[in-house]
Amino acid sequence: MFLREIYLPEIGGPVLAGLTLPAGLAVRIVVLAEVLGAYSDVGYAFSVARINLETPELFSRIPGYCLHLHGNAI
């Protein structure tokens, strides 16, 4: 009873805070690996837009990249 009513609600906040840092770092690593190692697809388009300094195109591709990641995760 102590575990369920006292301990688990109390450790929920620190555990969630501790998981946000690794989750954000993992997303950054995946994006970096996709941009540096891709010869086609979304990562290649990101890399070309970055090299050619096409900032509006780069930012317009971010939602598509997120949808691409979500589609592959399912």
3-state SS assignment for residue 31: helix
Cβ proximity of 49 and 58 under 8 Å: yes
Taking the C-alpha atoms of residue 29 and residue 26, their distance in angstroms, rounded to an integer, is 5
Number of structural domains found in the chain:
1
At 39 the pLDDT is 78
Q: Is the Cβ–Cβ distance between 44 and 28 less than 8 Å? A: no
Query: pLDDT digit string (tens) for 29-69?
Result: 887 777 777 777 767 777 787 788 888 877 777 777 777 66
Domain limits at 30? 2-73
3-state secondary structure of 54: coil
pLDDT digits (tens, 9 = 90+) for 17-32: 888 888 888 888 887 7
Quick one: which of 32, 60, 66 has its CA closest to 47?
Answer: 32
